A and B are shown apart, each in its own frame.
Chain A
Amino acid sequence: DTGVSQNPRHKITKRGQNVTFRCDPISEHNRLYWYRQTLGQGPEFLTYFQNEAQLEKSRLLSDRFSAERPKGSFSTLEIQRTEQGDSAMYLCASQASGQETQYFGPGTRLLVL
């Protein structure tokens, strides 16, 4: 399977714990996006990488959130000191330069108790 993969698919954690999610994009795609989706809403943009450079961040991305893409391939999204309001589906998407279409992974569903 050469699509976008995300791990883990599900994560349950207690409030105050740190969690880290991983996204592996389609190999030739140099752009990578993170989104958050809550019930009844569409995906909300969090951040965007072109290769290893983080080019844009949403105001939704508080200082408890950090994302990296160290070698321009896979990316990680870490949430520190999780809060119940962080419970959501976290989606990753990749895109090739010059193309407008993003390809989404299956998402990581986070539940903060």
Chain B
Amino acid sequence: DQQVKQNSPSLSVQEGRISILNCDYTNSMFDYFLWYKKYPAEGPTFLISISSIKDKNEDGRFTVFLNKSAKHLSLHIVPSQPGDSAVYFCAARFTGNQFYFGTGTSLTVIP
């Protein structure tokens, strides 16, 4: 059972425009959410996170929005840059320190 879902396997965006990556989850007991970025042949790299008690967290070009009633979170990247091209995973923490990951969205930023 996939508790964290990323329904878009890929996304292409023009450089300078906004990238919006989406993630849905099913377990209302998740208390913390994270986004990771992964380049080929490397492990995932932490990008940004949000606690379940907040609805927005911003860090430079990256903003994560959480809608608990819809069990939905999104990552906004503005402006998108070619170096942002990577696979993005969302992850959710269940109490007890188990983390569940989505299947990833491959972002391509076109120069």
Give Cα distance in the complex from A42 to B4, angstroms: 10
On whether the beta carbons of A42 and B97 are closer than 8 Å, the reply is no
Nearest opposing residue in chain B for A4, CB measure: B43
Task: Encode contact with A along B34-56: 1 for CB under 8 Å, 0 otherwise.
Answer: 10100001111110010000000
- Counting chain B CB atoms within 10 Å of each CB, which of A91, A103, A104 scores highest? A104
Task: Encode contact with B along A99-113: 1 for CB under 8 Å, 0 otherwise.
Answer: 011111111000000
Instruction: Judge if A31 is at the interface, Cβ distance under 8 Å.
Output: yes
Instruction: Judge if B96 is at the interface, Cβ distance under 8 Å.
Output: yes
Q: Which B1-44 residues sit within 8 Å CB-CB of chain A?
A: 4, 6, 9, 32, 34, 36, 41-44
- Counting chain A CB atoms within 10 Å of each CB, which of B6, B46, B96, B97 scores highest? B97
On whether the beta carbons of A105 and B34 are closer than 8 Å, the reply is no
What residues of A have a CB within 8 angstroms of the CB of B98 in the complex? 45, 48, 56, 58
Nearest opposing residue in chain B for A104, CB measure: B43
Give Cα distance in the complex from A35 to B100, angstroms: 10
Nearest opposing residue in chain B for A109, CB measure: B41
On whether the beta carbons of B89 and A43 are closer than 8 Å, the reply is yes
What residues of A have a CB within 8 angstroms of the CB of B43 in the complex? 4, 6, 91, 93, 104-107
On whether the beta carbons of B102 and A42 are closer than 8 Å, the reply is yes
Give Cα distance in the complex from A100 to B33, angstroms: 9
Provide a sorted-by-A list of 22 A–B residue pairs whose CB atoms are within 8 angstroms: A6-B43, A40-B9, A40-B103, A42-B89, A42-B103, A43-B89, A43-B101, A45-B98, A55-B97, A56-B97, A56-B98, A58-B98, A91-B44, A95-B97, A100-B93, A101-B46, A101-B49, A102-B34, A102-B46, A103-B46, A106-B42, A107-B43
